[in-house]
Chain A
Amino acid sequence: MRDKAPWNIKRELLTKSEDETDPKYGCRPEERQYPDIVRFGIINLDKPSGPSSHEVTAWVKRILGIEHAGHGGTLEPAIYLGLWAWRSQSDRRSTRSLRGGN
């Protein structure tokens, strides 16, 4: 049988032993206040097509005025960066060979 995608797996919550949580400590994630809402927050961003994932993440950092942000799973294949590096390298190479020809 084919593997199920993780988002199609249903899990059941089973009780080992009941207990209560003291409202004095911690906070339900949906009820966090500023600045914790930002400190422990994540954004489901629709990445535009132009800039790289790193650039977009840097913009988010700047807009929110925060120190750290990171993205989960780069949205442009490394092949692009590699191709770019390879091309600039081959550009250099061709420049050199042109010079050599001169």
Chain B
Amino acid sequence: MTGVLPVALEEATKVIQALLVAGKEYVGVMKLHKDAPEGKVREVFNEFQGKIYQRPPTRASVKKAIRVRTIYYLDILEIEGRNILFKVGCEAGTYIRKLVFDIGRALGCGAHMHELRRIRAGPFTEDKNMVTLHDILYLYDRWREAGDIKMLRKFILPMERALDFMPKIFIRDSAVDAICHGAHLTAPGITHVESGIKPSDKVAVFTLKGEAVALGTAIASTEEILKATHGIMVKTDRVLMPRGIYPKLWK
């Protein structure tokens, strides 16, 4: 399989956990084993949108219990004989090969996946800032030769980009270092909060300069956070920023 593979470097490897649970988007070619009427194909494709039940493939490395996955959309891009070019947006952990197999079974004719390319992993897509191994080799060499930092910026993105679709909470300078030491985030430290946060949602905590400080779990909703004057609002799950970058203003 080819396509979008975010590679996190050094300290940034800590953001990978956010990417593993992020949604994915694929383009693939499905091959039907017998002819099937186009109307039926479109009907079955529609049925596989929304919540689906999926049993991981027999040889997958996870538990074989049936699990629920959300298919955000499943679009047919082109039908040519028994070949169907499709695009799917899905929750992390959806087996596309299995999805194709199950669609084939629902159609009654059987099907398998012929080709697959990932075009999105969380916020990373193939049409924005994507580079090949050759690009990396070339640009890194140019950086080494001339010391032009622009060459690095051409292929290395800030780790914060991995969190673009997570609900965000921004905090004061004075609250940063306590979080870096593993403290939970309390109401007075918060300056801004994004809409739509519900208790137990995974959130990202940012400085006012836009640096990622930590990943956490919201204890309160956006509305509650806006009103609160004290108390823990976010439990810190994973600290992303090293200690000591911001002043230690806490006791």
Q: Which of A37, A43, A63, A69 has the most CB of B within 10 A?
A: A43
Among residues of A, the one whose C-beta sits closest to the C-beta of B73 is A5
Q: How far is the CB of B121 from chain A (nearest CB, A)?
A: 5
If A12-B194, A26-B246 touch, does A45 touch B130 (CB 8 Å cutoff)? yes
Once the chains are docked, how many angstroms separate the CA of A4 from the CA of B165? 12
Q: How far is the CB of B160 from chain A (nearest CB, A)?
A: 5
Chain A residue total in the interface (Cβ 8 A) = 67
- Contacting A at CB under 8 A, from B9-45, are 9-13, 15-16, 19-20, 22-25
A72 touches B16 (CB 8 A): yes
B179, CB-defined interface residue at 8 Å: no
Complex partner residue of A13 from B2, B140, B192, CB under 8 angstroms: B192
- Could you say which interface size class chain B belongs to? 35 or more
Complex partner residue of A45 from B15, B132, B173, CB under 8 angstroms: B132
Complex partner residue of A19 from B122, B123, B172, CB under 8 angstroms: B172
B79, CB-defined interface residue at 8 Å: no
A92, CB-defined interface residue at 8 Å: no
A75 touches B157 (CB 8 A): no
Complex partner residue of B6 from A3, A42, A64, CB under 8 angstroms: A42
Q: How far is the CB of B217 from chain A (nearest CB, A)?
A: 17
B194 touches A75 (CB 8 A): no
Q: What are 20 A-B residue pairs whose CB atoms fall within 8 Å in the complex?
A: A2-B50, A12-B194, A19-B173, A22-B173, A40-B11, A41-B8, A42-B158, A43-B7, A43-B136, A44-B128, A44-B129, A53-B5, A63-B137, A63-B140, A70-B16, A72-B7, A73-B118, A73-B121, A79-B59, A85-B59
Smallest CB-CB A-B distances: 9 pairs: A82-B59, A72-B19, A29-B158, A21-B208, A41-B156, A5-B72, A47-B5, A72-B6, A70-B13
